Chains A and B, each alone.
Chain A
Amino acid sequence: MHRLSNPGLSRRDVLAAGAATLAGSAASRDALAQEGVNLDAAGTLEAPSQPFHDTVRLTVNGVIRELRLDTRTTLLDALREHLHLTGTKKGCDHGQCGACTVLVDGVRINACLTLALMHEGDDITTIEGLGTPENLHPMQAAFVRHDGYQCGYCTPGQICSAVAVLKEVDAGIPSHVTHDIAGAPALSDEELRERMSGNICRCGAYSNIIDAITEVAGTRA
């Protein structure tokens, strides 16, 4: 555990902390003061103003990386700003658009809504790890063939998501539109649209994206 240090306070921090904090007893207040943590009269913790750092070791596209990071660093920012893997895109940065979709131990998640420090020992795959310009992943090749993009900004997230969707279907994971959740889900346009709904494409390449995924699904079968 890290000691809190230099908890520079401002009235604004105190107000912003507001309901998000737990009230402390007088005893715990004294104990905390010894650690350099201060509470205001209402027992509200005054947010520290200096960043904290910690290290994390993870595997990215097959390479073990050790990073020392500000605790606030999201997995997305670690990939883009620290490892310079800029294929993964920052769209909304709030888990709404899917542009930051990566695979963690083969499972798709929004890299913007998870801290890098939470991925100690994890195996991360980004769009750069799926294929290369000389040796495209089948899903990348299908997106090219079917023109599954216009501006291309959402495309890395779409492709990572699509690769994981096919694995989820193979694993028998049902979706909102699966008619019989007791059985194995079948692949259909309706299923793919539902399963890809966490990836927004402002250019509206959706129908071509569905065509690309359908082709890959068919050639695997």
Chain B
Amino acid sequence: MKPFSYERAASPAEAAAAAARRPGARFIAGGTNLLDLMKLQIEVPSHLIDVNGLALDTIEPTPEGGLRVGALVSNTALAADPRVRRDYALLTRALLAGASGQLRNKATTAGNLLQRTRCPYFYDTAQPCNKRRPGSGCAAIGGFTRQLGVIGTSDACIATHPSDMAVALRALDAVVETVQADGATRTIPMADFHRLPGETPHIETALQPGELITAVVLPRPLGGRHIYRKVRDRASYAFALVSVGAVVQPDGTGRVALGGVAHKPWRVEEAETELPRGARAVTERLLAGARPTRDNAFKVTLVERTLGSVLAEARG
């Protein structure tokens, strides 16, 4: 790791202001992704703002009938909350499908959203990577791409977002609450939170410099069957090749979001109108315009079959 100065933030607004004042500053909460990247000198912050002391670790009901999840609620605490297990089982299932028990105990809700890609070329500092070093090129394109993106990719980047939790939050239409450097607060729908790579793959979210996530709000419960199916190379503790998060209602309508295929949790609302017609019809619209590589073309088939399995389970 490179040397960095360190402070403990006193309030969310002060943390945001401090981060905006200090180019090269980073917030640290769980640290499970950031410290990994700092050890490899992929992230090189000159200053860390420890936000763990901010009282953002509770889950409270909202007046609208949903839940407000504090940014610092651990992945374990969120997955185990009785209200989440009852009303947002998709979220519990997605969280439990990710990482290990130790990591879920430390990883936070906000940090999970902000975790960075697991593209091997992003991790290999000897390789060009437009995300790690803007303008240097993309070694993944034409490289080993089995794990990488099939849709929403660009000529600059074909990385995927690794989060399982974010897939569930996208399907549930969650909203991210933030505080900005000037103390103002705003909300960002999950649909707009993560960006596609385009020509600026190093800009991954809608957050502005210094902006701090304070909570994630779940809307009123949807009812229906909640299923998260993750397909990976090991039975546990591995990132998704493909994951399907679905909420399916008794009449066959519902919602579907995908992990492991794009730079953001992938959802196309129009494709959901095809749900009563089955997995093939949904997948054709959900992955229309996909540009898989020779190595990862199997993901398109895998999405359709995994979704087929999910829909069969929802009916059964």
Binding site for B on A (CB under 8 A): 1-4, 7, 13, 15-24, 28-29, 31-32, 37, 39, 43-45, 47-52, 54, 70-72, 74, 93-95, 98, 101, 107-110, 112-115, 117-118, 120, 161, 164-165, 168, 171-176, 178, 181-182, 193-199
Contact between B101 and A47 (Cβ–Cβ < 8 Å)? no
Knowing that A4-B47, A174-B80, A195-B101 touch, tell me 8 more A-B residue pairs with CB under 8 angstroms: A2-B5, A4-B46, A18-B202, A19-B134, A20-B26, A45-B46, A164-B101, A197-B236
Provide the bound-state CA to CA distance between A174 and B106, in Å. 16
Closest to B45 in A: A20
Contact between A51 and B96 (Cβ–Cβ < 8 Å)? no
Contact between A115 and B28 (Cβ–Cβ < 8 Å)? yes
Closest to A49 in B: B3
Confirm or deny: B253 has a beta carbon within 8 angstroms of a beta carbon on chain A.
Answer: no
Give chain B interface residues in 75-128, CB to chain A under 8 Å: 76, 79-80, 85-86, 89, 92-93, 96-97, 99-103, 105-106, 125
Confirm or deny: B263 has a beta carbon within 8 angstroms of a beta carbon on chain A.
Answer: no
Chain A binding surface SS class: loop
Give chain B interface residues in 222-269, CB to chain A under 8 Å: 235-237
Binding site for A on B (CB under 8 A): 1-8, 18-26, 28, 30-32, 35-36, 39, 41-48, 50, 52, 76, 79-80, 85-86, 89, 92-93, 96-97, 99-103, 105-106, 125, 131-134, 202, 209-210, 235-237
Provide the bound-state CA to CA distance between A164 and B18, in Å. 37
- Which residues of A lie under 8 Å from residue B43 when comparing CB positions? 20
- Which residues of B lie under 8 Å from residue A171 when comparing CB positions? 80
With A109-B105, A193-B236 as known contacts, state yes or no: A22 contacts B50, CB within 8 Å: no
Provide the bound-state CA to CA distance between A115 and B7, in Å. 12
- Which residues of A lie under 8 Å from residue B23 when comparing CB positions? 21-24, 28-29, 32, 37, 39, 43-45
Contact between A54 and B6 (Cβ–Cβ < 8 Å)? yes
Contact between B4 and A198 (Cβ–Cβ < 8 Å)? no
Contact between A175 and B96 (Cβ–Cβ < 8 Å)? yes
Pick from B41, B47, B93, B236: contact of A194, CB below 8 A.
B236
A175 to chain B, nearest CB (A): 6
Provide the bound-state CA to CA distance between A4 and B6, in Å. 10
Provide the bound-state CA to CA distance between A182 and B81, in Å. 10
- Which residues of A lie under 8 Å from residue B47 when comparing CB positions? 4
Contact between A19 and B92 (Cβ–Cβ < 8 Å)? no
Closest to B25 in A: A22
Pick from A47, A50, A71, A117: contact of B44, CB below 8 A.
A47
- Which residues of B lie under 8 Å from residue A2 when comparing CB positions? 5-7
Closest to B133 in A: A18
- Which residues of A lie under 8 Å from residue B20 when comparing CB positions? 22
Contact between A22 and B35 (Cβ–Cβ < 8 Å)? no
Contact between B79 and A174 (Cβ–Cβ < 8 Å)? yes
- Which residues of B lie under 8 Å from residue A4 when comparing CB positions? 5, 46-47
Provide the bound-state CA to CA distance between A47 and B5, in Å. 10
Contact between B46 and A1 (Cβ–Cβ < 8 Å)? no
With A22-B24, A168-B101 as known contacts, state yes or no: A17 contacts B106, CB within 8 Å: no
Provide the bound-state CA to CA distance between A108 and B74, in Å. 13
With A13-B44, A19-B202, A113-B36 as known contacts, state yes or no: A72 contacts B1, CB within 8 Å: yes
- Which residues of B lie under 8 Å from residue A71 when comparing CB positions? 3-6, 48
B162 to chain A, nearest CB (A): 14
Contact between B36 and A72 (Cβ–Cβ < 8 Å)? no
Closest to A112 in B: B35
With A19-B202, A95-B36 as known contacts, state yes or no: A48 contacts B5, CB within 8 Å: yes
Closest to B200 in A: A19
A35 to chain B, nearest CB (A): 9
**Most A CB within 10 A of own CB, among B20, B32, B100, B202:** B100
Closest to A32 in B: B23
Provide the bound-state CA to CA distance between A129 and B184, in Å. 46
B237 to chain A, nearest CB (A): 4
A-B pairs with lowest CB-CB distance, top 9: A198-B100, A45-B24, A19-B202, A197-B236, A24-B23, A2-B5, A197-B237, A173-B80, A1-B7
Pick from A13, A113, A173, A181: contact of B93, CB below 8 A.
A181
- Which residues of A lie under 8 Å from residue B96 when comparing CB positions? 174-176, 178, 181
Contact between B25 and A176 (Cβ–Cβ < 8 Å)? no
Closest to B79 in A: A174
Could you name 28 residue pairs across A and B whose Cβ atoms are closer than 8 Å? A4-B5, A4-B47, A13-B2, A17-B46, A18-B44, A18-B132, A18-B202, A20-B43, A22-B209, A31-B21, A39-B23, A47-B2, A48-B46, A50-B3, A94-B39, A110-B32, A113-B106, A115-B35, A117-B6, A168-B76, A175-B96, A176-B93, A176-B236, A178-B96, A181-B96, A182-B85, A193-B236, A198-B103
